[in-house]
Amino acid sequence: MIAYLSGVVREIREGSAVVVAGGLGYEVQCPVSTLGRLKVGDVAEFNTRFVVREDAQLLFGFSDADSLRLFDLLIGVSGVGPKLGLAMLSGMPVSALAQGLLSGDVKLLSSVSGVGKKTAERLVLELQNKIPEHLAAPVVGGVKVMPVNNSAGRDAIDALLALGFREQQVRGVVAELLGADPEQTADALIRKSLGRLR
């Protein structure tokens, strides 16, 4: 089992990177968030998962332990292989994916290419009680903010998304506002969020 890899980035490909360590070049399959941080010639560190299948041996690498933890949970669900798990982690930030699983947001989960409604429902059913809450807390201004778990927050997020704002941005701002005052109404959250998003 290869649990960790540190080496020099030799090449960045679509969906993977070649990392040289100990004279060997390892092809590491990575989510977009990890690939975006890599530069050819730099030393990179990965939390890894080595997956052996009948037709391939694949090494998956992540820049942080939370991404690896979520990847392990995803591929533990029947019908979700490592490629689909990686696609889900590439499709949205870890915090948004974890929040979608915790809140049962089938629409959000099925927005990832390759994830149909039934797969999204199965993911929620099997993982809703297994996702550590800290994974759903996005980082805003360098501080983790708590996930949005009340109806006013969800209503505010839906309204702001309908206005065309980006989901990651909206969830972060609403979660931060609720962290400061959990009793705010949806209207108050929308007004304050608009002031920050514009």
> Which tokens go with 3?
């649990």
Q: Is the pLDDT of residue 61 over 50?
A: yes
Average pLDDT on 156-182 reads 83
Q: Which fold has domain 139-197?
A: Helicase, Ruva Protein; domain 3 (1.10.8)
pLDDT of 142 reads 47
Domains 1-63 and 139-197 share a fold: no
Q: Is the pLDDT of residue 141 over 70?
A: no
Cα–Cα dist 194/198, whole Å: 6
pTM summary value: 0.69
* Per-domain residue ranges of the chain: 1-63, 65-134, 139-197
SS3 content of the chain, % helix, strand, coil (to 5): 45, 20, 30
What CATH superfamily is the domain 1-63?
A: Nucleic acid-binding proteins (2.40.50.140)
- Give pLDDT tens digits for 7-43: 999 999 999 999 999 999 999 999 988 998 899 999 9
Cα–Cα dist 156/196, whole Å: 14
Q: Whose structure tokens read 């701002």?
A: 173
- CA-to-CA separations, 87 to 33, 40, 72, 163, in angstroms, rounded: 11, 23, 13, 27
> Which tokens go with 18?
């070649």
- Does the 65-134 domain belong in CATH 1.10.357.10? no
8 Å CB contact between 119 and 80? yes
> Which tokens go with 167?
């989901």
Residue of 108, 170, 101, 177 whose CA lies nearest to 132: 101
Cα–Cα dist 104/125, whole Å: 8
Average pLDDT, the chain: 88
Other beta carbons within 10 angstroms of residue 158's beta carbon come to 12
pLDDT of 147 reads 60
